[in-house]
Structure 1
Amino acid sequence: MALASQKDFFSGLMFTAVGGAFAWGAREYEIGEAARMGPGYFPFVLGILLAILGMVIMFKSFTSGPPGGDRIGAFAWRPMVFILGANLAFGALLAGVPALGLPAFGLVVAIYALVVIASFARPGASLKESLILATILAVGCYVAFVYLLKLQFPVWPAFLTN
């Protein structure tokens, strides 16, 4: 039996593996029953449902797909590196890294770094677009988390607030 869609097969395989891992890991916690759920109930049921969904997708990859098959392309290294790097930079700038002597730069600087670094994942990205998006995101986060939810964390770098 030939694969009609490689993309569907490997995405179904990934869903099955992740769902199985969640269900397997949830066995360490008390699962309980539907009427009295334990802490492992939700991850166990969710893992089983994800694994079943993955198996359905894998089965369909043998039966349906575009004419000539649906091949997997080359691995996209550039987006992976910049998106992961942007998230690491966000965490490091927001909280600081005392072991490296990096102080906390606060929410606003971390959001600008996140958006600008992540924008390099797309070829032909515009710095102007990134700065506009970062400004909108920084204002929205400030309003949501600091003003409305009243969460206490650094918004600006410490050397600007002293």
Structure 2
Amino acid sequence: MKNWSFSRKRIESFISLLAVALVFGGLTVGRLDIGTINAMGPGFFPIVLSVALAGLAFVILLQPDADAEPSSLGDLRPFLAVVGGVVLFALAIRHIGLFPTTALAVITAATGNKDFSWPGVIVLGLCAGALCTLIFVYGLSLPIPAFRSPL
């Protein structure tokens, strides 16, 4: 039988994620129409995210202990790269369209990994941009331009 031991950090992460999932899921169920899979209401996506967040909380709690070194707060490169990618996406989507914005945001976020390679990151960004454009612009017909001139 496996001896389960949970670190304080893991338990705090679990409680925090689960609390956020339950609060937002509870607020959504009480106030917004969820609808069905074919006719999604305004509460459908928040419920799906709440369930996914609760699932992530359990994954974090139940993951096996790794023998890796704990990460230090000294290396901010990954954090800054991901936040930079999100901020870039938010600022650029209206000006240059979905495809280039997604590609640039993914490329920016991927530079947080110290072992990234430019060719691989560029291909990843272009593929993510193409996939998002196909899904959201052409598949779901969202009113987001695929490309837009910044001029």
Tell me the TM-score range normalised by the shorter chain: 0.5 to 0.7
Partner of 2:37: none
Structure 1 residue 82, shift from structure 2 partner: 1.0
Which structure would you say has the larger Rg? 1
Partner of 1:112: 103
**Would you say the 8 A contact 1:5–1:71 is kept in 2?**
no
Match runs of 1:6-155 below 5 Å: 6=7, 7-15=9-17, 17-19=19-21, 21-22=23-24, 57=61, 73-75=71-73, 77-95=76-94, 104-155=95-146
Distance 1:120 1:70, change over 3 A: closer
Q: Where does the alignment leave 5 or more consecutive residues of structure 2 unmatched?
A: 33-41
Structure 1 residue 70, shift from structure 2 partner: 9.6
What letter is aligned with 1:142? T
Structure 1 residue 114, shift from structure 2 partner: 0.6
TM-score, with length taken from structure 1? 0.56
**Would you say the 8 A contact 1:89–1:110 is kept in 2?**
yes
TM-score, with length taken from structure 2? 0.59
Q: Structure 1 stretches (4+) deviating beyond 3 angstroms?
A: 19-26, 69-73
Distance 1:19 1:71, change over 3 A: farther
Paired positions, count: 125
What is the root-mean-square deviation of aligned Cα atoms in Å? Answer: 3.8
**Would you say the 8 A contact 2:101–2:129 is kept in 1?**
no
What letter is aligned with 1:85? G
CA distance in 2, matches of 1:129, 1:120: 11
What letter is aligned with 1:140? L
Distance 1:20 1:111, change over 3 A: closer
Structure 1 residue 19, shift from structure 2 partner: 4.9
What letter is aligned with 1:139? A
CA distance in 2, matches of 1:22, 1:16: 10
Identity of aligned residues (%): 20
Q: Where does the alignment leave 5 or more consecutive residues of structure 1 unmatched?
A: 31-38, 96-103
What letter is aligned with 1:145? F
